[in-house]
């Protein structure tokens, strides 16, 4: 059995206003046992990973490749233990320019890097049992720029953004 890494700090999960979702407490860096404690014991039939945006923020600054490798390890652990579980990996969502590295000191985030994370997912996780969902464009205009009306604060999507996001996921999951 692997040991948990010391120094884990919980941070509150961010939910949209009025949300009725159930969220497990998030930890960063993730403990080695996270898949056991947060996923495997529930034996899900489907699992959706939407990871990456916060990994370019102030608390953790990983490269797109490192983020993809971390997700690959999570995917492999789940598949090995729950081979019938359908696994989906969703692209990071865009942010408005006010939250990129040019406007927010101490973050690496940019929409170019967010798009790179999704490309790295597809290169690094070459398994047929994983379905990739590119949700990034559903929040953008025809030029590929994020639409402000879908964001609560420029980084987190609002109700209308969640409607679009949910409809995108429904095409694959339901």
* pLDDT tens digits, one per residue of 125-162: 999 999 999 999 999 999 999 999 999 988 889 999 99
* pLDDT tens digits, one per residue of 62-87: 788 988 998 999 999 999 999 999 99
- How far is residue 142 from each of residues 97, 109, 137, 139, 146, measured CA to CA in Å? 17, 22, 9, 10, 10
* pLDDT tens digits, one per residue of 19-64: 333 333 344 445 445 676 678 888 999 999 988 676 666 556 678 8
pLDDT of residue 92: 93
The predicted model scores a pTM of 0.76
CA dist., res. 23 & res. 14, Å (int): 9
């Amino acid at each position: 059995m692997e040991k948990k890494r010391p120094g884990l700090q919980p941070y509150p999960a961010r939910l949209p206003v009025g949300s009725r979702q159930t969220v497990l407490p998030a930890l960063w860096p993730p403990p080695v046992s996270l898949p056991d404690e947060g996923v495997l014991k529930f034996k899900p039939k489907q699992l959706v990973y939407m990871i990456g945006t916060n990994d370019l923020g102030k608390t953790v600054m990983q490269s797109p490749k490192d983020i993809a490798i971390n997700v690959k390890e999570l995917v492999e652990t789940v598949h090995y233990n729950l081979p019938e579980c359908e696994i989906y990996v969703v692209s990071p969502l865009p942010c408005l320019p006010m939250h990129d590295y040019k406007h927010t000191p101490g973050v690496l985030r940019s929409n170019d890097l967010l798009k790179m994370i999704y490309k790295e997912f597809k290169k690094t996780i070459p398994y047929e049992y994983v379905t990739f969902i590119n949700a990034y464009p559903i929040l953008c205009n025809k030029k590929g720029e994020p639409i402000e009306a879908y964001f609560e604060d420029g980084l987190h999507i609002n109700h209308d953004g969640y409607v679009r996001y949910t409809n995108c996921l429904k095409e694959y999951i339901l």
